[in-house]
Amino acid sequence: MNQVSLIGRLTRDPELKYIPHSGTAVATFTLAVDKGLSKDKRQEMESKNQPTADFIRIVVWNKQAENCANFLVKGRLVGISGRIQSGSFDDKDGKRVFTTDVVAQQVSFLEWGDKADSGSSMNDYDMDGFHPTDERDIPF
């Protein structure tokens, strides 16, 4: 079984591209996922200038990729469920580079807000069936 669930914060804004000829949207971003360290261990690692989070590359496809690009910004908290994918390619110097990504099948926006640079609201975009819920409408 290849299944992963993560909660973390974006380290940069999503980068949206379209595949030539097919026009398929693909977005990538990096998620900082806290290692869940004890307070003492965290302080120890920070004092040694060691990371207290894992930085995981996320790949999102199709309409969900466009939604991520439209609504997510650096620092935003998201939940990801998907699968791990590994691969490799030869860089410009002919050196083999190995990659490990999480291909997101679901992205849950855990914090909301307008993108600072766009001034757009959620109502300006087609969220493909998503409608925010007013907390007063939740039955529990």
DSSP tag of 137: G
Cα separation, 12 vs 91, in Å, equals 23
Residue-level pLDDT at 106: 95
**Confidence check: pLDDT of 37 > 90:** no
Cα separation, 110 vs 76, in Å, equals 8
Residue-level pLDDT at 123: 43
Mean predicted confidence (pLDDT) in 107-129? 57
**Confidence check: pLDDT of 83 > 80:** yes
Contacts for 87-93 with beta carbons within 8 Å, 24 or more apart?
none
DSSP tag of 134: -
**Confidence check: pLDDT of 101 > 50:** yes
**What are 73's two structure tokens?**
């910004």
User: What pTM was estimated for this model as a whole?
Assistant: 0.75
Residue-level pLDDT at 118: 41
